[in-house]
Structure 1
Amino acid sequence: MPGFLRRLFAPRWQHPDAKVRCQAASRLDPARPEQRQALETLCLDAEDSVRQAALARIDSPETLLELLTRQPELTEIRQRLIVLLSSQGGGIDLTRRLRIVEGLDDRLLLSRVALEGDNQQLRLAAVARLTEEEDLIEQACDNGIAAVRHAAATRVTSEAGLQRLAQQARRDRQVMRQARERLNRLRTDAASLAHARAQREALLAKLETHARAPWEPLYAGRYRHLVREWEALDDLPGTEQERRFQEACLRCRKVISDHEAREHAIAETDRRREQAAEARESLLEALEESLAGLPRGDRLTGQDIASLRAQKVLLANRWQALSDLHVTDETLRRRYDTVLKDYDAVLDAWERLQAHVADIEQALKDKDTERLQASVAACHWPGTLPPTPLLARAQQWLAGREEPAEEALEARLERFSQDLAQLETLLDRGAFKGASRLHQSLRHRADTLPAASLRPHQATLKRLGARLAELRDWRGFVAGPKREQLCQAIDQLADDRAIADAELDRRHRQLVRDWKGLGDAAASRELSERFRHASDRIHERLAPWRERQASERQRNLEARSALCEQLEALLDTPAADADPDALRRIRDQAREEWRRHSPVPREQAQAIGRRFGRIRFALQGLIDQRAKEVADAKRRLIEEAQALIERPSSPDERAEHAKRLQQRWRELGRAPRGEEQTLWREFRAACDQIFAMREAQRDDRAQRTRQRLDEMQALIDRLDAWQPARHADGQVLEQAIAQVAALEPLPSGRRTEGMRRRWSGIVRTRRERLARLAVVEEIQQWQACRPLLDAHLAADAACLAGGACEDVPLDPELGLSDEMRRAHEQRNASRRDPLSPQEVAEGLARLRVHLSLLALGRISQHDEPLRLAIQVERLNEGLGRELSRAEEVRIVLRNLLATGPVSPEQWEREVGEFDSLLTRLTRLPPP
């Protein structure tokens, strides 16, 4: 279809002419769906008039909201929505409008509805949908309904918003008052929060500093105190603060746990050392008891020597094992050396005797007295030991008697009685081995003693023998099943091929110790052979492993020897200022290294162990010596700190000196255990007293500072309420300025700065008022001279009119100053030698402009050259000293009195301006 026909038959609302579309829009019925769609299309038309005409036909807010979503930049749609929702152009019920408003998100639309709605509930619903604080402030300030203003003001929470609300909500004083209260409360809360955060930050800094500090006796107490202070704070910490707090707590707990672990390790070491000392002492007592029991017997046999050798081997092995772990006490070491010396003496005597046994037996057989005597003498048998049976026979042969003498018999009986008592004691204690050996010795001696002499002891010996047999039976009853179990265990161990060599050796040794521990209780040849056979199988299996152990022991021996050499080099040349803590660490590390290089060959173990024990003893002595020196140095620091309290110096200097003493205390190291805490408490008490004195001085200084601030505030308030009434009151201001100067220097801070600004403003306003009062007083004095000026004007008029030029007399009651008197005389002289009218007019104009400059009045354009000239003159005159306004006014008024003669016409032209300027100068600023 051609374009003309298409335009001819097209609907009018699609006409290209905007006026036609506008008319069509007014005729479309929105109730009909096809026309409503046309209206919606016209609502988005490019022409404003068409859009407005179409929108006027739509009464459905939902349709308009949909159109607004499609074209949000069209203000006509939003305006139509405002009209409909505010009930300005439609009959939409309130419920429907409320439902529509509660679903809106458009800020402008909600703000307009809240301001223009016809119902309070509608406005409250619109305000409830507003989220921007700017819109809420607008509603709180400009809304016409008080409830809506209050609802909007309640939702303003920021400090800037509340401040704007307090300044702009002049329509509602309640809103303004509540905004101020909330603003003050918010600022107070912010200040409290800032103070709490600062307090928490300071506490956190202390905790972090404490976490980095080394341990000291009060470390744990300070940590708990800081944690309690942290938990006592009311505010909640931030995430970063909580993280830092937890990290600092972890570091503090680590320091405390490390110290507790060290203390526990030290206590455990002490406990083990005590156990080792007890074990050493028990072994020594056993060997000492065996050595002491030898002289009590009648005869010394090979069994006694074998038992003594076994005890010595057990003592040496156990002693060396304990010495590898713990330093031997010097007393025990001396006892051990004494026991070994006694043992060596017995063994030496026994070996000498064994070397001459064959000679003695042959001499007895041959009855060769000389040879027997030489052989016995060569044995050098100690008199403290009982003789062996062979030696006793030889001695009896040499003595020429077969029976002992009567005195010897009594001594043997006495010794026999004592040994019976000892045997009963051993049976009471359950010491089977010792009791068995002693009982056997008693039975042997009983066979050699006469029956008649032995009869009183026979019953006791029989009774004790029965007790010993009962103890042997009981041991056999217990030991029988135990031996069977040990045989089964060692057979299983020998057949177990999965077990490691080290574990095999450990368990084999334990089984052997348990077997030996049973002694001869329930012993049988079959079980012994069975146990020995299994043990030999294990020994064959462990042979390669033992070779490796031997090479490892040799390496350990070399490492221990090198360690001993290093420690000996340290002890040979110790540093004069060696730190005892460093020496303690060396000692502990040496002990750990010694334990790590274990075991060593058995034949060298005792010698290297004694060497290391002597080194550790010497090192401990060096540690104790250095710790004692540290303790003495710390006592001197305590004395210095206590003397510092009485020193006549400032608390700050004493506190700084105390800090240096604390630094020196930390650098010294630790004193001996038990003294460190005592010394630290004394030193800490003295330092606390010094710091308390500094805090007291600071508190006193702060109190004086607050007092000066209060005096300054009182002086400011007094001067603020004072207003000078005359220029002579300037003395009060100068006295106040002198008082302020006496209060200086004031502490820096916001309060001080605020007071200084206020003080400067008050002084400036009071000086300005005093200057204005001085001007007023000058003008008042001029007013008193006004009759004299009028007389001069009358005399000037008469003189200029051609009359007599007479002088004006001066009234003494006027009390003029010298300057005004000279001006009066100059005025009288000007009539006798008058100036030209132009010069007089120029002088009056000059005085008027000068007075206008002083009064800050307006100057006409033609007087501008005079103004510039006068300002130049004022600058030139002020090079030496700047004149005050009162002095300049006095000069102008004096010159005004001296200027003449003035015609009535000239005066009439100028007097009004002069009076106006003088009136302006008499106005005082508001108080």
Structure 2
Amino acid sequence: MAGFFKQLFSAKWQHKDPEVRLGAIDQSLDQETLQSIASEDTDIRVRKTAISYIESLDTLSTLYNQFAAEKETAQIIFERISKHLPNETELSILKPELLTLIAGQSFDGNLAQAAIKSIGDEQQLFQLIQNSPSAKARHLAIENIHALSLLKSIERDFKGKDKTLVRLAKDKIQAQQDQDKYRAQIQNDIQHLLQQANQLAQQAFDPLFTGKLNLIKQEWEALPEDKQRYAKEYADALQQCEAILHQNEEEQAKLDEKAAQLKQAQNQVQRTLEVAHSTYAEAKAGRVPSLDALQQLTKDINEAIVLSNKNKLTGLKADLTDFYKPLLNLEQSLTVQQKLDHTAPSSGGSELTVGDLKKDLKETQNQIKKINWPSEFPSPNSVQKRLDREAKLKEELQARKDKEANTLKQIRKELASFETALDDGQAKQAEQHQKHLKSLFSQVDVQQHKNLYGQFKALQQTLFDLNDWKGFASAPKLEALCETMQQLADNPLDGKTQLEQIQLLQEEWKAVAKASTQAQQKQHWPKFKQAKETAFVVCNEYFAQQAEHKQANKQARQEICLQLEQFFEQNDWIHSDFKAIVELIGKAKQEYKRFAPVEQSDHKPLQNRFYNAVKAIEKKVDEHYQNIADEKQTLIKQVSELLSHDDLNDAIEQCKEIQEQWKHIGNAGRKENTLWKAFRAECDKLFDRRKQANEQHKQAIQAEISEANALVDGVAQEVHEGRGNLNGIQQIRQDIRNLNIPNKVRAGIEGKLDKLADSVKQQHQLQKQQALFSQWQSIADLAEHMTTANEHSEAVSKLNLDKSLQPIKRVAVQAIESNETLSEETQQALCIELDITLGKESPSEEQALRMAAQVKRLQESIGQGANSRNDQIIDLATQWLSAVPEQDSQYRERFWNTLIDAVKPKTKNATTALVD
């Protein structure tokens, strides 16, 4: 019963009777029910009927996969699918599984081809190839497969089954590999250029920097669009390079400014040096400039020396310094001279005293010393007048001294007479002597003769006292002196003191006696004399002791004289130590002086003996020192003569030998310092000459180094501006080799020239490539406008082509004249041949033609040598121009664009060389 109800209320398409189910299937059933019937019903008729009402392509595709093994059912389902397919242009909206089904099962070639093109999933295409029995479908499907792994699987799986498919797989693999290589090469080129740009951004500026940067820019522009993702890194490096370039331009501007300042400083210093040299020469000739001009010149020289220090102009500074000191001394002397000219000393004359003359001489000498006129310049009139006046004053003073000696002699004589008159109490006579002495003392400098003048003043006082005592009683004074002398006799002192007291009392007696009368003197003199004689007895013992002491001194002096005399006679004067002898003489003189006094009668004979002994020894010493002095004077003369020696190095060596001789000659005594200064001065002149010569040599070398660097800088500028010339560089290299510069410096400079020569070679190579490229462009323009024989024949004949391109020109002329036509098929073949030659990918639709062309090439090349890439390009261009292409050719632009891009100059190697 339950089964009945179930059957009663269930749908008829679910009935157990196939006929009922078959009758229940119509358009009223929904698509889901129809799919269920088509998929699950056990009766094939029911399933086919359900399939005929299904409209969903996805459902049909699922059913097809389910019944693929049942060919009849699968065919019905595919027919139903084919009926409901959209237009070929709309196939892309279908699912890949359905497209695969259509491509594999459809007998409509166009539909199958459209389905295959609409399948975007390479894995689906691969499955299609694996499952499709249609070789054409497989061939169509493989065109859209690019995955290398799938292509290799196809090549492996269909080897020996489908040769065409295997060949297509191989071609695509090869093309893919070529493309990968090309992309890898592009990437390598991009990375290489980025590396070069970054390296250049990290390098310091050099003469090749701008050329390197321009080449990098040019090569970057030639790269394909794959470079865009590296644009920021490239832009950053380029910005840094531009910053370095800008910085160099600023630094170069500063260097140019500094060089200009240095040149200006050199000119200024040189002008000052020339003025200093001419002024010095004029002054040497006695034509001294004005003080203002000289002051301005020394100021200019000082400023020039400061400027030389600042700019390291060592040679000019040394020359300026040589002139600065003498000219500065001249300026200072001239300043003092003009100032002193306003205070000229008074002229001498007989009316001036000796003191006045000495004062005048001292003032004149002080002025000469203050002026301190440099000896290297002739003395001007003002200075010469002072020198003449100095000589005149000295002469007059000497005359005065001679006269003064006579006057002094008279003064001494007159003082004696004055004293005698006073002793005798002759006041009037003493006054006459006093008057005469006053006149005599007025003729001498009393400050220089204080002793004499003191005696005169004392005698004047005595005269005064004499005159004074005459007006008073002198008897008590004389009595007192007698008593004092008696006391000295009664109570004697030691001998020396006793003698001094007696002499003092005698002097007082004389003084008192001058003022006393003759009677008073006669009354007291005997008593005074008696007491004096008694007192003098004590002095005799003192005199005896003194005599004994003087005798001992006499003997000591005699011994000294004897030893000196014996030394003179016995000494080996040839091998003597004269320094020790000088010390001996000095010590002997000290000892001789120590043994004093002696008796007056012995003094002069001993003195003469000692003097003669010493003089004899000193004469030997003087002769020895004079001989040494003569030898050293000879050495000084020899050094002086070396100053004019042509061979300076030989002169220096001889000077050194002379210096060694000087050391071993010995000391010249008192003349040693003077001789040494003269010898040192002559040696200094010679070494100064060498120093000057060395400095001149250094300056000459530096000048030639500067000249060499200037030549290299000029070449670098020419190379930088693209005007480099190898012959010019070689000539400059030869010019630099002719310069006198150190080898190390020359090697460095020639290294720079080598780099510049390499750059010029690269530039020339690039220019050749660019010239050839320009010719190719002319050929491409010709090809673009070739239409009929009446056009451009004259232009073609005037083409100026390289020797290697001349065949193209001849062929083009013939083609224009013959008016032969180049078919599109031939044009396409030439494009493909050009792609193969350049390793460039051809369009996908030309793969078969490309494969055929490659096979043909392979066959033709068997047993023959391969032509170069350039020869192949020329051959293809010649073939193209062998006839006039058909108008509106779609291949003309492709062929010539590809060819022009291929022959476009590649500057990577040059850029690399420049950067490295």
Q: How would you bin the TM-score normalised by the shorter chain?
A: 0.3 to 0.5
TM-score calculated relative to the size of structure 1: 0.32
Give 1 or 2 for the bigger CA radius of gyration.
2
TM-score calculated relative to the size of structure 2: 0.33
Higher RCO (CA-CA < 8 Å; seq separation 6+): 2
